[in-house]
Amino acid sequence: MTLPTTRWSEIDAADQTDSAMRRDALDTLLSRYWLPLRAHLERKFQIDTSHAEDLLQSFCLEKILQKKLLGLADPDRGRFRTFLLNALDHHVLNQYRADRALKRRPSEPLVSLDEVGDVSSPEENTQPDTQFDLDWARQVIQVTLDRMRTTCEVSGARQVWGVFEGRLLRNLYGHTPPLSYDELVEAHGFTSAEQAMNTLNTAKRMFNRTLRSIVTEYLNAPPHTVEEEIRQLKDVLLRNGGLTHSSA
């Protein structure tokens, strides 16, 4: 996955005090949320990808970095992604209102502000955006799989990834039958089907650890909140068709 290049020169000019720490936070945010947020803007405001990315760039610069938005998120007051989504919507609506007040027309066709509606405060709009949640869940899973595969390759545990991919991912992503244990033995040089089964169990544990690590990084919340986030992620995938056909 290739993420857009953040305009670090603008960021450095805007705030020099703790830019390194906030760069890390923004990089984490972008890897988990950029594609779902972009798709959300395209759907809700009926704009093209380029315009949506410009709005996301300004949101990252003005709200996340300059105004330290992430520090305002409170896990006890609702889901982080609901907070983030509402903050983004506020930012976009405020930009459109400012443009309208200055009698400037945006370059891309937009829905009217009356159609979009008014949101008085981020915490008040608690209804989930189902497609955004689904895009988010699929993106988190993809990031988890990418990190797991890289870890297996770097550590010389290619058998672990190979068994996980052949036994589970083939069916989840490609709708192709999983490899049998006999096929896994032949493909990866195991001495028995039992060894292949044990390796698959190792792979499942590794995936769960990696997923938990990914969620902990972006959520920055107590363990019980992380577990609830993972439960919600799995529930979203189960209710909405799993890992395929992502719009992000």
Q: Mark whether 213 and 104 lie in a shared domain.
A: no
Q: Mark whether 120 and 211 lie in a shared domain.
A: no
Q: In the chain, count H helices and then E strands.
A: 11, 0
Give the domain range for residue 55. 8-126
Q: Mark whether 106 and 140 lie in a shared domain.
A: no
Helix (H) or strand (E) holding 162: helix 158-164
Give me the DSSP letters along 193-228. Answer: HHHHHHHHHHHHHHHHHHHHHHHHHHH---HHHHHH
Task: Give residue 17's pLDDT.
Answer: 47
| Burial environment of residue 60 by CB neighbours within 10 A (0 to 12, 13 to 18, 19 or more) | buried
Of 126, 154, 179, the residue at which a domain comes to its end is 126
The Cα 14–Cα 6 span in angstroms is 13
CA-wise closest residue to 133 among 173, 211, 81 = 81
The Cα 126–Cα 28 span in angstroms is 24
The Cα 134–Cα 46 span in angstroms is 19
Q: Is residue 2 one of the residues assigned to a domain?
A: no
Alpha helices in 175-192 (DSSP H): 181-188
Q: Is residue 248 one of the residues assigned to a domain?
A: no
Does residue 23 contact residue 11 with C-beta atoms inside 8 Å?
Answer: yes
Q: Is residue 20 one of the residues assigned to a domain?
A: yes
All residues at 6 or more sequence positions from 239 whose CB lies less than 8 Å from its CB, including other chains: none
Number of structural domains in the chain = 2
Q: Which pLDDT tens digit goes with each residue over 94-123? A: 888 887 766 555 554 444 444 444 433 434
The model's pTM is: 0.71
Of 103, 126, 149, the residue at which a domain comes to its end is 126
The SS3 call for residue 172 is: helix
Q: Which pLDDT tens digit goes with each residue over 143-201? A: 999 999 999 999 999 999 999 999 999 877 767 899 999 999 999 999 999 999 999 99
Q: Mark whether 220 and 112 lie in a shared domain.
A: no
Task: Give residue 122's pLDDT.
Answer: 39
**Is the predicted pLDDT of residue 246 greater than 50, yes or no?**
no
Q: Mark whether 122 and 136 lie in a shared domain.
A: no
Task: Give residue 184's pLDDT.
Answer: 96
Provide mean pLDDT across the span 27-53: 88
Q: Say what angle helices 193-219 and 130-154 make with each other, to 10 degrees.
A: 120
Q: Is residue 73 one of the residues assigned to a domain?
A: yes
Task: Express as a percent the part of the chain with pLDDT over 70.
Answer: 70
Q: Mark whether 99 and 59 lie in a shared domain.
A: yes
The pLDDT mean for the chain works out to: 78
Of 85, 110, 126, the residue at which a domain comes to its end is 126
Task: Give residue 4's pLDDT.
Answer: 57
Give me the DSSP letters along 26-64. Answer: HHHHHHHHHHHHHHHHHHHH---HHHHHHHHHHHIIIII
